[in-house]
Amino acid sequence: MNYKLVSSTFDDKEIKSINEVIKSDMYSMGKNVSKFEDQCSKYFKSKYCVMVNSGSSANLIALSAAVLSENIDLNKGDEIIVTSLSWSTTYSPFYYLNLKPKYVDIDIETLNIDIKKIESSITRKTKAIFLVNITGNPNEFDEIKLIAKKNNLIIFEDNCESMGAKYKKKYCGTFGLFGTMSTFFSHHMCTIEGGIVLTNNREFYETMLSIRAHGWTRNLPKNSIIHKKKGKDFDELFNFILPGFNIRPIEFEGAIGQVQLKKLGGFVKNRIRNSKIFYNTFKKYEDFILQKQIEESSWFSFTMICKGKLENKREQLIKFLNDNKIETRPICGGDFTKSLAAKYLGGNYKTKMRNAEYVTKNGFFVGNTHKLLNNEIKYLKIKIDEFYKTI
């Protein structure tokens, strides 16, 4: 048995879409990307969608647009509340935009931000909360929205690990000013590389369109509300109005995305089915903390946090599992405040994040995919039972 972290979601339909792009001889961002964006807007029930070359770039473009907007109160030097457990590129844009992270520890059961610790972390410089839905699991949005409203804070969402998750029937990624998602190979749907930003704010949307491609006006609509175009199209070819990047996706990604989006519902359903098998298999094990589901998780992976007899034995356990062809990974990027990169961002990274630190030392995950994993989960149980006999 080989229990892998991920498996390909492609079949002949994706290959056909790639060949259609080759036939068209148009590879850079074009009609396929635009069509995929429209389909994502409808699927996730958001007014606007901007596709970029990765989920990491989605975070960068969204935070950049928020800082550049004259109608959004987020400026250089401001603080943003953010969980201490996430992927590095949740935080990296803070450095380039001169924003300060205000790290908050996690709830060790949900792995999301500890709601009880948010308000005590707010200062007069705090302008926003950047929520991360970890490994498919939604945050408690109702309670967090009340905190945000009370303290006049903007809500952002990093939903890169949680495409398809829902909180009270509403898709995650649509609860704040923006929500980002990743379509990298190991995620819920795959466009090889890629990511999207969802928003209902037109001005914010148009700002991202400009920033995505050099800061120019060429991709703005004719009736743009951020820039009045000149009469001649030629004058708008190289007209730069914002400090931008080139983080455009390519047509292959847009074409594949259209195929994958049709399959996404089925992918998520199978991930949820697998989660029930996994949870029923391991819920009686006293030496593991399993992730507590909030509403409708899309189950990016299956996290296992060692405690009791297994506390501080994670290294031996994952070596045993890997030796038996069961692939494992750390939970997300671990406690980011303990990373060497944190020193570049400033903020309160010296504050001890007890739960995030514990997860970093004692947690790991095994894979979940769009395929049913009855046999793989059964094999995992057999091997964990075998490991118990070695300690």
pLDDT tens digits, 317-330: 999 999 999 999 99
- Looking at residue 236, the DSSP 8-state letter turns out to be G
- Number of neighbouring beta carbons within 10 Å of residue 117: 16
**pLDDT at residue 229, rounded to an integer:** 87
Q: What is the pLDDT of residue 349?
A: 65
Q: List pLDDT tens digits, range 45-60.
A: 999 999 999 999 999 9
Residue range 56-71: mean pLDDT, rounded: 96
Which residue(s) pair with 198 in the sheet?
Answer: 49, 179
| Cβ–Cβ under 8 Å, residues 44 and 171 | yes
Judged against a pLDDT cut of 90, whether residue 231 lies above it is answered with no
**Rounded (10°) angle between helices 88-97 and 55-68:** 30
Structure tokens at 376: 């793989």
pLDDT at 168 over 70: yes
Give dist(CA 21, CA 32) in Å, integer. Answer: 9
Tokens linked to 148:
């945000």
Would you place residue 31 in the very low, low, confident or very high pLDDT band (cuts 50, 70, 90)? very high
Asked if pLDDT for residue 183 goes beyond 90, the answer is yes
Q: Which domains does the chain have, with CATH numbers?
A: 12-259 (3.40.640.10), 265-388 (3.90.1150.10)
Could you give the residue numbers annotated as active site? 187
* Helices and strands per DSSP (H, E), number in the chain: 10, 12
Share of the chain above pLDDT 70, in %: 99
At residue 158, does pLDDT exceed 80?
yes
What would the pLDDT profile of 108-145 be if each residue is shown by its tens digit?
Answer: 999 999 999 999 999 999 999 999 999 999 999 999 99
Burial class (CB within 10 angstroms; exposed 0-12, middle 13-18, buried 19+) of 208: buried
The answer to whether residues 6 and 186 touch, using CB atoms and an 8 Å cutoff, is yes
